[in-house]
Amino acid sequence: MNIVHAQRTVRVTKRFSFEMAHALHGHDGDCAGIHGHSYVLDITLRGVPSEQGGDPKNGMVIDFADLKVIVQRAVLDHYDHALVLHQADSEALRGTQDLWRRLHFKPWQPTCELLLLDIVERLSGAFNPNVQLYSARLQETATSWSEWTAADN
């Protein structure tokens, strides 16, 4: 295969999904109450495919299986099937019942936008130096999402 080497940088994306509930403290609409979403998370990395002859990852920016493990540990293990609330609501849910084992209080409002920024922070530094977190997109409903791009920051 004759590939032009002057343009070697590519982006690769993997899609993930998870279920999570949240409530927006002090919100003036329906989102003030506890409710859940089926989130869709797209993670896009930017890099140059490996040219290491004999390497099982030859030709890849990252093995999608490796990306899956990284996102599972950094994001999904924390957020999947969790209830995320602002820490201001912590007094309302005191207790040690098993019902609250996946309850996370945050010092910030658990909006789609701020959840996405937390996910980006959780993934920062997780990839080898030749791979850059290029963008992330968190879809909360079929018609609503937030996006982050490294170029904007």
Residues 27, 105: Cα–Cα separation, whole Å:
16
Sign of the four-CA dihedral 58, 61, 62, 64 = negative
The residue annotated as part of the active site, out of 19, 35, 51, 81, is 81
For the question of residue 112 being annotated catalytic, the response is no
Nearest Cα residue to 133 out of 55, 54, 82, 71:
71
The pair of three-digit structure tokens given for residue 34, joined into one six-digit string: 């506890």
Active site residue 140: yes
Annotated active-site residue 19? The verdict is: no
Structure tokens given for 1: 């295969």
Q: Which of 25, 31, 104, 113 is catalytic?
A: 31
Give the Cβ contact number of residue 41 at 10 Å.
21
Task: State the catalytic residues.
Answer: 31, 81, 140
